[in-house]
Amino acid sequence: MLTASGITAGYHPRRPVITDVDLTVESGATVGLAGPSGSGKSTLARVLSLLHKPFAGSVSIDGTVVGGFRYRAPRQYRTKIGVLFQQPRLSVDPRMTLRQVIAEPSRANGKPDRVDELSGLVALTPDLLARRAHEVSDGQLQRACLARALALRPAYLVCDEMTTMLDASTTAALVAVIRDYQSETGAGVLAISHDTVLLERWADRVEQMRTERMPTG
Amino acid sequence: MVGLTVDSLSVRFTLPDARVAAVSDVSFSLAPGECLALVGESGCGKSVLASALLGFLPGNAEVAGSAMLGPLDLLAASDQVLSQQVRGRQIGLVPQSPAAHLTPVRTARAQLDEALRHLHPAETRPSADEVAKRAGLQPADLDLYPHQLSGGMAQRVATALALAGDPWMIIADEPTTGLDRALVDALVAELRLLVADGRAVLLITHDLAAARRVADRIAVMYAGRLVEVGPAHEVLDSPRHPYARGLVDSLPDRAFTPIRGLPPVLTDLPPGCAFGPRCDRVTAECSDSPQLTVLNGHAVACHNPC
Ligand SMILES: Nc1ncnc2c1ncn2[C@@H]1O[C@H](COP(=O)(O)OP(=O)(O)OP(=O)(O)O)[C@@H](O)[C@H]1O
Ligand code: SF4
Ligand SMILES: [Mg+2]
């Protein structure tokens, strides 16, 4: 179980983006998270992925409270959570080829990289692996990011607007990849999207992000 | 007023060991007061097409064909002509992934002000707040730095920047990315206003529901080619090309099943119809490339349309 308890977080202590938010993602489950633009869904996603330190509250993984965030997050916890961001261009080192992007988490953790298996899984054709980010489309880059997120076989996957870059068929294909991965590994998935039709089809249950302050968008 | 007429546009990229056929033989026209939506699988060449029209292609690209904007061929024009006469003034671009295009160390206001100074003489220059409002932003939003903008806000800043020079044509590349339902509705309304106002809009999108509401016509692209072009409701409700039908069927409120098989490899396309390896209607004729053929204002490139 991946749990956020009483999270207050943001970029300015006096104007938190989210206040006292609780959310649980059970193993094997797909939890949808909906809510208007600016309601803090991405901030919560970053806290849950241990990439952003909240002002208050805690994140626990399988019952243990995680002691630190960002570079202070213990590696054994960090590698349990795979993350996919809305904007793949901002989360990929432009100097790397897609092959290096997909191999990077394994390399950093001294594991065999499984690039061919992972890229096949996300339907990235081999011709694309030698290219750098600016030489592929946004959707192709997002598929590489999904392969990267699955590289260390995370127990939880946080997908922040993973599909807004993708056409309907690729969306359906990648959701199917994630479902297969889940049925094989029992991973829990947090699916964040504005697309309520998609969440109703994809998730087991959909949580609504509360808005405390007026959404500025 | 001028229009845009694209004729046999092709783009090839040269890589160390391969050539990428990103756009092949694309022809269409776009008139003021009209919105054309361009849809298709990720990687099929939509953004490359947009970049070609604005001269934003990288050095390893080779372009053929023509794109006439009145008397000016955009594909042959120099960078200087494009930047002084076309970009921002005649054609405004809302780029895909706008956050990646904003300068991180300057506020949205500083960037919009600079665009307005560049595009308008002082006497007739609109204020940043006015332009921002049309894109659905509050004045206070403009004082944020790019890293403080949510995805949806960055998207609207990019829209404001595209509108800054009051261009007659807008190319919007995935402008609904990161927007919630209410903001998509507002953007759709704004795009419709621009069209009603006599502007032309080329809307590149994966959001078929938004395309249905804004576009007069929809063009479906597969492996760099236009495979179907027709009135928006016809293309979405009764698609005739097997790829277009598969795309519509994969929506979450329909079957939600992906089109079988892998995306086409643009460095090594099969002879004949590029959709052949994934198509359930394929016949012997399909080894000849199907031509886009118009019937009652609805064009399809397929030997055995649905
Ligand atoms: N600089 C480049 N060098 C080589 N190939 C490139 C380059 N830029 C793009 N491509 C390739 O050209 C094809 C078309 O890319 P494009 O970005 O136009 O796709 P798209 O239809 O906009 O996709 P998306 O829906 O994912 O944004 C892709 O297969 C991509 O890999
Ligand atoms: S031309 Fe043939 S292979 Fe291509 S879409 Fe039509 S039926 Fe299918
Ligand atoms: Mg694109």
What tens digit of pLDDT does each residue of B94-146 get? 988 777 788 889 999 999 999 999 999 999 999 999 999 988 889 999 999 98
Closest CA of chain B from A57, distance in Å: 22
Q: Are A195 and B252 in contact (CB under 8 A)?
A: yes
> What is the reported pLDDT for B77?
96
- Find the closest chain B residue to A119 by CA distance: B262
CA–CA distance from A9 to each of A17, B65, B80, B256 (Å)? Answer: 6, 53, 47, 35
Q: Alpha-carbon distance A157 to A160, whole Å? A: 10
The atom of ligand 2 lying closest to the CA of B285 is: 2
Q: Sign of dihedral through CA atoms B104, B108, B114, B119?
A: positive
Closest CA of chain A from B263, distance in Å: 7
Bridge partners, B39 (sequence order): B220
Global pTM reads 0.91
Statement: residue A217 has pLDDT above 60: no
Summarize pLDDT for B273-290 with one digit per residue, the tens.
Answer: 999 999 999 999 999 999
Statement: residue B92 has pLDDT above 70: yes
The rounded radius of gyration (Å) of the Cα atoms in chain B is 20
Residue A89's nearest CA partner among B174, B172, B92 is B174
**Residues 6 or more apart in contact with residue A214 via CB below 8 angstroms:** none
Q: Looking at the 3D structure of chain A, how many domains does it have?
A: 1
Summarize pLDDT for A56-72 with one digit per residue, the tens.
Answer: 999 999 999 998 898 88
Q: Sign of dihedral through CA atoms B110, B113, B118, B121?
A: negative
Q: Alpha-carbon distance A10 to A73, whole Å? A: 18
Neighbours of B297 (CB within 10 A): 10
Bridge partners, A61 (sequence order): A2, A64
Q: A217–B247: do the CB atoms touch at under 8 Å?
A: no
- Reported as a pLDDT band with limits 50, 70 and 90, residue A211 is low
Top mutation candidate among B14, B20, B56 for ligand 1, by most atoms within 8 Å of CB: B20
> What is the reported pLDDT for B179?
81
Statement: residue A213 has pLDDT above 50: no
Q: Which two tokens stand for residue B16?
A: 């160390």
B118-141 burial by CB neighbour count: b if 16+ within 10 A, else e? ebeeeeeeeebeebbeebbbeeeb
> What is the reported pLDDT for B186?
85
Statement: residue B63 has pLDDT above 50: yes
The atom of ligand 1 lying closest to the CA of B221 is: 21
> What is the reported pLDDT for A214?
43
Q: What is the CATH number of domain B4-32+40-80+216-300?
A: 3.40.50.300
- Reported as a pLDDT band with limits 50, 70 and 90, residue B1 is low
Q: Alpha-carbon distance B197 to B217, whole Å? A: 18
| Strands B169-173, A56-61: pairing kind | unpaired
Summarize pLDDT for B41-61 with one digit per residue, the tens.
Answer: 989 999 999 999 999 999 999
Mean pLDDT of chain B: 93
Q: Which of A41, A194, A199, A213 to mutate to test the interface with B (most CBs of B within 10 A)?
A: A194
Query: Measured between alpha carbons, how far apart are the two ends of chain A, in Å?
Result: 31
The CATH number covering residue A19 comes to 3.40.50.300
Domain extent for A35: 2-213
